[in-house]
Amino acid sequence: ECKGQYMHHEALYTEQMGKEMQREQQIINEMDTALEEKQFVVYFQPKYELDGYTPRGAEALVRWKKPDGTMVSPGEFIPVFEKNGFIIKLDYYVWDQVCQLIATALRAGRKPDPISVNVSRVNLYNPNFLESLVNLVEKYRIPPEYLHLELTESVFSDTENVILNAVNYLHKAGFTILMDDFGSGYSSLNVLKDIDLDVLKIDMKFLSKGKDDGRGEKILAAVIQMAKALDMPVIAEGVEEKKQVQMLKRLGCNYIQGYYFAKPMPQEDYERLARKSHE
């Protein structure tokens, strides 16, 4: 009886694993064609200045638009691409699209707000990363200050020289570096002591309703004060409610990114919004 039950669970377990592997294999089988056929589409989520609620740039977020019209979110395919290295090609593709957008705006005589792109941790161990990024902005002739780089917090848990050297090189080359997902994992505080990053992006976990005894707000207040002392502007991500906006404003947060103001949107929609805000 007992043994039968165990075997049943084991069968379920392996069946689930099998499905997971199948799904992963399908992603791997389709990725090259998807890139060639431009099925990867870059969306833009505006960031809003809390002072006046004006849009000030955006974050580029990739989606996979399958030929049948379904949209796959990055949470599904990025972990697979980080395992097999394809993320290096995909990240570069996204940066290229973003540089094109910036170059087009500059050539039309506009002064666009900076756009941030995500840089996978895998790229930091890619020996061609720094050179290819610098070559890219040179190819489009855009000043590097228009392209902001988001590096997720956990990247810095390796205090290896690789990371320090990359950050120094990128700063010398004129890029702005954001620490993404701050507070989502471990590490961070000593990292801020050792590495001079430019902008702090606070993880949405800080905003989630935990015990409603004001602890979250106190921690947020302290984090924002710390960032200010370090001369780092603060962006809060994942802001969905008016109450959160009011609290963040009271605490002196600088920028907000979240569904409350805007979801990630297609390029044309973002360009329209950005132009309107500069009229």
Residue 235 partner contact from ligand C2E, Mg ion, none using kind-dependent CB cut-offs of 5 to 8 Å: none
Within 162-181, the residues that bind ligand C2E by CB under 6 A are: 180-181
Our finding on whether 73 is near ligand C2E (CB under 6 A) is yes
φ, ψ (nearest 5 deg) of residue 257: -130, 125
Residue 165 one-letter amino acid: N
Q: Stretches 74-82, 165-173, 190-198, 267-275: which one binds ligand C2E (CB under 6 A)?
A: 74-82
Within 107-126, the residues that bind Mg ion by CB under 5 A are: 118
Residue 74 partner contact from Mg ion, ligand C2E, none using kind-dependent CB cut-offs of 5 to 8 Å: ligand C2E
What character string, x for contact with ligand C2E (CB under 6 A) and - otherwise, covers 243-262? Answer: --------------xxx---
**161-172 and 129-139 helices cross at what angle (nearest 10)?**
20
Q: Which residues of 4-36 are buried (b: 16+ CB within 10 A; e: fewer)?
A: eeeeeeeeeeeeeeeeeeeebeebeebbeebee
Please state the closest distance from residue 210 (CB atom) to Mg ion, in A.
19
If the CB atoms of residues 193 and 209 are measured against ligand C2E, the closer one turns out to be 209
Which of 221, 240, 267, 277 is the binder for ligand C2E (CB under 6 A)? 240
Of 242, 246, 216, 222, nearest in space to 234 by CA: 222
Please state the closest distance from residue 17 (CB atom) to ligand C2E, in A.
24
Own/partner contacts of 28-37, CB < 8 Å, gap of 24 or more, are 28/80, 28/84, 28/86, 31/77, 31/81, 31/86, 34/64, 35/89, 35/90, 35/93, 37/67
- Residue 261: DSSP 8-state: T
Q: What angle do CA 115, 117, 123 make, to 5 degrees?
A: 150
Our finding on whether 269 is near ligand C2E (CB under 6 A) is no
# of chain residues touching ligand C2E (CB under 6 A): 23
Residue 196 one-letter amino acid: D
Residues that bind ligand C2E (CB under 6 A): 45, 61-62, 73-75, 78, 87, 91, 94, 118, 120, 150, 180-181, 237-240, 257-259, 264
Residues that bind Mg ion (CB under 5 A): 118, 150, 180-181, 196, 198
